């Protein structure tokens, strides 16, 4: 078991294909309504495990690649960049840059997290007995002894949740009825007790490592959408038809305020989202129970497919096709072989008029070179 350039490349390609598959699948309303929250999260977890363990195992089957990959590896390993008196290969430069940027982003993530906590704790504490009573009323349903810090500020326009060990709920400075407060606390406490903040923070760590992959950011956005819709569906379970409408009106009320006063805080879970299409989708979920129905066969098949693809991705690895010069010199000669010069200044090697490989240099000057 080892980590090699090929194993990292293989991991990136396989996980990217899996990301694209999930993104495309969840864009179809048919699948989005039928796949459960836990199925989607488990699929993301499988991909995350693959990203964090880009290993090459002893049982892996090597697939030789004759085009592009040999030239790319030749460039990465042997082309050198000069910095003053230092020469460094392209691969080493990219590796150092990757690690350095990830460290910087990790430090930024930690600073942003503590900055957000500091900003929230500086806000005015909520001492209103009605608000505290609404929070205690909702919290008592979970039978868990978790204490939430309540703060309020004019710089935020939507209720939000922050913090894993010592959670904080921030409220905008706006009048909210007892029922609206209960809806807000139902929403935020569901996020907290279902460990959604852990999921969001875990996604941030993946982004720190794979910051250069645009698919990671698309998945983060999609995952936030899934978390919101899941909580709406859970809150929806115990509401009457009239209460569903009241809950939706509460979301719309907060969303309207958010359009005029927005303050973005790191790694928080907001109550309302400004996007109009998202609001329409949330409304559709609240007024239609189809998102929360059980479709066990579809979920099992989807999860099984993700598991099989993850395991299968460890069973093979693509390697550049390479012929050692010593072997080539003893095997090929001017009587049975020739080179064809390509536009990229590489050479296709033919033996007995059969293509063998593409090389970057002529290993035997006696073998003739032909034009394409």
- For residue 348, the cross-strand partners are 340, 358
How many Å apart are CA 294 and CA 292, to the nearest integer?
Answer: 7
Q: Which long-range contacts (CB under 8 A, 24 or more apart) does 73-78 make?
A: 73/5, 73/320, 74/360, 76/5
How many Å apart are CA 115 and CA 107, to the nearest integer?
Answer: 12
Q: What H or E segment, with its residue span, contains residue 340?
A: strand 337-341
E-assigned strand segments in 48-200: 61-65, 80-83, 86-89, 124-125, 149-153, 160-162, 168-172
Burial 9-43 (b: 16+ CB within 10 A, else e): bbbbebbbebbeebeebbeeeebbbbbbbebbbbb
- Tokens (6 digits) for 271: 């109550």
Q: What H or E segment, with its residue span, contains residue 298?
A: helix 296-313
| DSSP codes joined into one string, 240-253 | -HHHHHHHHHHHHH
Residues 6+ positions from 222 with CB-CB distance below 8 Å: 22, 23, 26
Contact 172, 153 (CB under 8 A): yes
How many Å apart are CA 10 and CA 150, to the nearest integer?
Answer: 47
How many Å apart are CA 318 and CA 61, to the nearest integer?
Answer: 9
pLDDT value at position 198?
A: 92
Q: Which long-range contacts (CB under 8 A, 24 or more apart) does 25-31 make?
A: 25/302, 26/222, 26/226, 31/298, 31/302
Q: Compute how many other C-beta atoms are within 10 angstroms of the C-beta atom of residue 84.
A: 5
pLDDT value at position 273?
A: 60
CA–centroid distance for 38 within its chain? 16
How many Å apart are CA 127 and CA 145, to the nearest integer?
Answer: 20
Rg of the chain (C-alpha set): 28
Q: Compute how many other C-beta atoms are within 10 angstroms of the C-beta atom of residue 159.
A: 26
How many Å apart are CA 360 and CA 347, to the nearest integer?
Answer: 6
Burial 327-347 (b: 16+ CB within 10 A, else e): ebeeebeeeebbbeeeeeebb
The angle that helices 214-237 and 5-27 make with each other, rounded to 10 degrees, is: 40
CA angle 26, 28, 29 (to 5 degrees): 100
pLDDT value at position 86?
A: 84
Helix H, strand E, coil C: the string for 258-277 is HHHCCCCCCCCEECCCCCHH
pLDDT per residue of the chain (372 residues) written in tens, 0 to 9:
788 888 899 999 999 999 998 888 888 878 877 888 889 889 999 999 999 998 888 788 888 887 788 888 888 888 888 887 888 889 999 999 999 999 999 999 999 999 999 999 999 999 999 999 999 999 998 888 789 999 999 888 889 999 998 999 999 988 889 999 999 999 999 999 999 999 999 999 999 999 999 999 988 888 888 888 888 888 888 888 888 889 888 888 887 775 555 556 667 777 766 555 555 566 666 656 554 456 788 889 999 999 999 999 998 888 887 655 554 555 667 778 888 888 767 788 888 788 877 777 776 777 888 876
């Amino acid at each position: 078991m080892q980590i090699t350039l090929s194993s990292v490349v293989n991991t990136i390609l396989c996980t990217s294909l899996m990301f694209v598959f999930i993104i495309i699948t969840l864009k179809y309303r048919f699948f989005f309504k039928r796949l459960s929250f836990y199925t989607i999260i488990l699929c993301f977890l499988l991909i995350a495990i693959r990203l964090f363990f880009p290993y090459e195992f002893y049982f892996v089957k090597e697939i030789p690649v004759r085009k592009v990959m040999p030239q790319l590896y030749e460039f990465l390993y042997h082309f050198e960049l000069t910095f003053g008196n230092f020469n460094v290969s392209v691969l080493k430069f990219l590796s150092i840059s990757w690690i350095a940027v990830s460290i910087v982003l990790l430090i930024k993530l930690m600073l942003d997290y503590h900055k957000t906590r500091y900003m929230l704790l500086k806000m005015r504490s909520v001492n209103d007995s009605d608000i505290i009573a609404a929070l205690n009323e909702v919290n008592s349903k979970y039978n868990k002894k978790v204490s939430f810090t309540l703060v309020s500020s004019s710089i935020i326009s939507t209720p939000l949740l922050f913090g894993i060990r010592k959670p904080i709920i921030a409220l905008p400075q706006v009048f909210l009825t007892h029922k609206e407060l209960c809806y807000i606390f139902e929403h935020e406490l569901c996020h907290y007790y279902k460990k959604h903040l852990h999921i969001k923070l875990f996604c941030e760590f993946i982004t720190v490592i794979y910051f250069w992959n645009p698919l990671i950011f698309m998945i983060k956005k999609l995952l936030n959408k899934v978390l919101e819709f899941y909580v709406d569906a859970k809150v929806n379970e115990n509401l009457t038809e009239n209460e569903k409408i009241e809950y939706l009106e509460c979301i719309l009320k907060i969303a309207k305020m958010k359009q005029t006063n927005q303050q973005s805080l790191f790694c928080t879970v907001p109550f309302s989202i400004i996007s109009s299409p998202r609001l329409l989708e949330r409304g559709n979920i609240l007024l239609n129970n189809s998102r929360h129905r059980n479709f066990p066969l579809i979920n099992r098949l989807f999860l099984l497919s993700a598991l099989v693809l993850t395991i299968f991705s460890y069973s093979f690895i693509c390697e550049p096709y390479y012929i050692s010069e010593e072997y080539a010199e003893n095997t090929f000669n001017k009587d049975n072989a020739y080179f064809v010069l390509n536009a990229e200044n590489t050479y296709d090697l033919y033996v007995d008029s059969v293509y063998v490989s593409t090389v970057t240099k002529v290993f035997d000057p006696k073998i003739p070179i032909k034009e394409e």
